[in-house]
Amino acid sequence: MCVQVVLAYGAESDKDLGIPGESLSGIYSAREFVWWYNGHPDYSCLKPDLKTSDSAVILGQGNVALDVARILLRPTTELASTDIATHALSALKESSIRKVYLIGRRGPVQAALTAKELREVLGIKNLHIRIKQTDLSVTPADEEEMKTSRARKRIYELLSKAAAAAKTSKADPDQRELHFVFFRQPDQFLESDERKGHVSGVNLQKTILESVGTGKQIAVGTGEFEDLNCSMVLKAIGYKSVPVNGLPFDHKKGVVPNVKGRVVSHTSGDISQTEPGLYVCGWLKRGPVGIIATNLYCAEETVGSISEDIEEGVWKSSKAGSKGLMQLLEKRKVKKVEFSGWEKIDAKEKQMGIERNKPREKLVTWEDLLAAAAN
Amino acid sequence: MLGHRISRFGSTIVKQLAREGYISTYGRRNLQRSYGHYLPSLPVVPRQARTSQEAWFLKSHKFCTSSTTSSENGDEETEKITIIFVDKDGEEIPVKVPIGMSVLEAAHENDIDLEGACEASLACSTCHVIVMDTEYYNKLEEPTDEENDMLDLAFGLTETSRLGCQVIARPELDGVRLAIPSATRNFAVDGFVPKPH
């Protein structure tokens, strides 16, 4: 029998900063926060601290950072008609967070966010955008980057326009603020005196940019530091894949080593020995970056390898395949949910959503999910 | 039309598996059916049934608002222009496109390999096409901010790039040549080399 396995389980873990204070309470990865408000059953009890102060710091300036900033700053009346988890909506209604700081090591020209997502955040009602005029000055190296990337140029223009518009609007005490903080990298987290074990701020080091050839600029610390107070930190600095027992894994890059999607079992010198019948695709193959089109081409490459291998009859597997998998699950008494179970959960969530004027009301505990699937 | 693409890839693998004798013909049909099951809105329709597919396509797919105009006009009387698609290997494929139909729809109607992952909702860049003659590019309306946001992320972006779902067939575009970019190699057809943006 012919068995192929394609690993496409993405990147479910987070990169760490590896700086002091990272384990203080009140510091979460953005992914945990997203899973909390999206109703992931493992995170419905996260209870992020939204009431201790008016400030939250987000480390990173990619689209995930913008996502979580948007959830913290959008009027809850608007969020009420989305499929946000009910426990998150209740917590956000009582949130005292009014200022969100998006911190990036480099400048507006290097920010990882993209235009569509930036527009959405800039369009939030009654949101005051704050960008330092000095952060918007560009160097020749920045100009060069903008010349080679239309995306960066347009993002820089959007941020400049937002900064200019902000100057003309009046301050309002209850208004929410989004600060884009550039050229700062986190050095350590500060612990609260009143509340031991909880974060009270971030110590940031000012940076400047240095060219490293090929048009790229990196951030370098200047030795100047400043503190930024906050009661919650969200780290949005990138995802990481989770290794699996027995699976070849490159811990440095956080991916499964492969050649055109064929999993590499070991490498000696220039020759890579690949694992017959085992393939990898998506973020697990390339790292947690890319858009739909990137994944499309990545999939084409892996499928191309599978096709080639089938045609050349490269391997004849004696593995038991899905039948063997079912037997193993039964032997280990693992509960499984079939696609029909997923459809029942989907129907139930949509039904509950109708009753509450939302696209769906998510089931957020494993018990409820399994009960709905078995119905 | 990601589902269509998956179906076709799946079909290729399935056909090869069947050829090798790994699965019976019954199994093969079963597998092909299961793609349809998971993607109910995208049935796999054989090439021969083009005309009826066209009519069904125009009626039930809302790729852009102008598709309803063309179906109201009736299939025979709708004015058509010629669009020439140039694929990754440089092959020129001329197709007849009714006025009001988008380039993406026209490509799918004629089995041209143009992906449209987000189904024309301006949420991706997979229907990226390159207008090969500046004269024709200038006849198009300026892209909106939303289109430009997605074009920013397209592979091999050029000064005459557009999203196929946003380019609508009009009389003045008769004879336009549109290149489908390849992600993996530098594109050059008949000496045409896109200017990097």
Over residues A235-291, the pLDDT tens digits come to 999 999 999 999 999 988 899 999 999 999 887 777 888 988 999 999 999 999 888
Provide, rounded to the nearest whole percent, the portion of chain A with pLDDT above 70: 97
| A–B CB contacts, 8 A cutoff, strictly below | 64
Mean pLDDT across chain A:
93
pLDDT at residue A175 in the model: 84
A302 to chain B: nearest residue by CA?
Answer: B9
Going by pLDDT thresholds of 50, 70 and 90, the confidence category of residue B59 is very low
Rg (alpha carbons) of chain B, rounded to whole number: 18
Over residues A167-213, the pLDDT tens digits come to 666 667 678 999 999 999 999 999 999 999 999 999 999 999 999 98
Say how many C-beta atoms besides its own lie within 10 A of residue A314's C-beta.
13
Over residues A23-73, the pLDDT tens digits come to 999 999 999 999 999 999 999 999 999 999 999 999 999 999 999 999 999
DSSP helix/strand/coil, A149: coil
Over residues A152-165, the pLDDT tens digits come to 999 999 999 999 98
pLDDT at residue A173 in the model: 67
B157 to chain A: nearest residue by CA?
Answer: A150
Question: Is B127 or A213 the better-scoring residue by pLDDT?
Answer: B127
Provide, rounded to the nearest whole percent, the portion of chain A with pLDDT above 90: 82
pLDDT at residue B78 in the model: 76
ipTM for the predicted complex comes to: 0.83
Provide, rounded to the nearest whole percent, the portion of chain B with pLDDT above 90: 46
Which string of DSSP letters, residue by residue, matches A209-237?
A: EEE-STT-EEEEEEEEEEEEE-SEEEE-S
Given a cut of 50, whether residue A342 has pLDDT beyond it is yes
Flag if B125 and A313 touch (Cβ within 8 Å). Answer: no
Flag if B13 and A116 touch (Cβ within 8 Å). Answer: no
- In angstroms, the Cα distances linking B29 to A209, B11, B18, B25, B192 are 59, 10, 10, 6, 43
- Name chain B contacts of A112, Cβ cutoff 8 Å: none
Question: Which has the closest alpha carbon to A61: A94, A95, A30, A92?
Answer: A30
Range with the lowest mean pLDDT among A165-179, A311-325, B18-32, B79-93?
B18-32
For A270, the token pair is 């220039």
Closest-CA distance of chain A to residue B96, Å: 28
Mean pLDDT across chain B:
71
Please identify among residues 150-189 of chain B the ones whose CB lies closer than 8 Å to any CB of chain A: 150-155, 157, 183-184
Cβ of A313 under 8 Å from any chain B Cβ? Answer: yes
Question: Is B28 or A25 the better-scoring residue by pLDDT?
Answer: A25
Going by pLDDT thresholds of 50, 70 and 90, the confidence category of residue B8 is low
Going by pLDDT thresholds of 50, 70 and 90, the confidence category of residue B24 is very low
Given a cut of 80, whether residue B165 has pLDDT beyond it is yes
In this structure, are residues A13 and A240 in contact, taking their beta carbons and an 8 Å threshold? yes
Going by pLDDT thresholds of 50, 70 and 90, the confidence category of residue A292 is confident
Given a cut of 50, whether residue B180 has pLDDT beyond it is yes
In this structure, are residues A37 and A71 in contact, taking their beta carbons and an 8 Å threshold? yes
Phi/psi zone of residue B195: left (φ > 0), alpha (ψ -120 to 50 degrees), beta?
beta
Given a cut of 80, whether residue B196 has pLDDT beyond it is no
Flag if A296 and B146 touch (Cβ within 8 Å). Answer: no
Going by pLDDT thresholds of 50, 70 and 90, the confidence category of residue A301 is very high
- Listed in sequence order, the residues at least 6 apart from A31 whose beta carbon sits closer than 8 Å to its beta carbon are A12, A14, A64, A239
- Listed in sequence order, the residues at least 6 apart from A7 whose beta carbon sits closer than 8 Å to its beta carbon are A247, A256, A263, A278, A279, A280, A281, A284
Quote the CA–CA distance of A261 and A241 in Å, as a whole number.
Answer: 16
A2 to chain B: nearest residue by CA?
Answer: B22
Question: Which has the closest alpha carbon to B147: A367, A146, A2, A150?
Answer: A150
DSSP helix/strand/coil, A358: coil
Alpha helices (runs of H) in chain B, residue ranges in sequence order = 2-19, 25-38, 50-60, 66-73, 103-109, 134-139, 145-151
Quote the CA–CA distance of B103 and A159 in Å, as a whole number.
Answer: 33
In this structure, are residues A166 and A131 in contact, taking their beta carbons and an 8 Å threshold? yes
Question: Which has the closest alpha carbon to A365: A34, A43, A80?
Answer: A43
A151 to chain B: nearest residue by CA?
Answer: B152
Rg (alpha carbons) of chain A, rounded to whole number: 24
Quote the CA–CA distance of A286 and A276 in Å, as a whole number.
Answer: 20
- Name chain A contacts of B149, Cβ cutoff 8 Å: 114-116, 119, 154
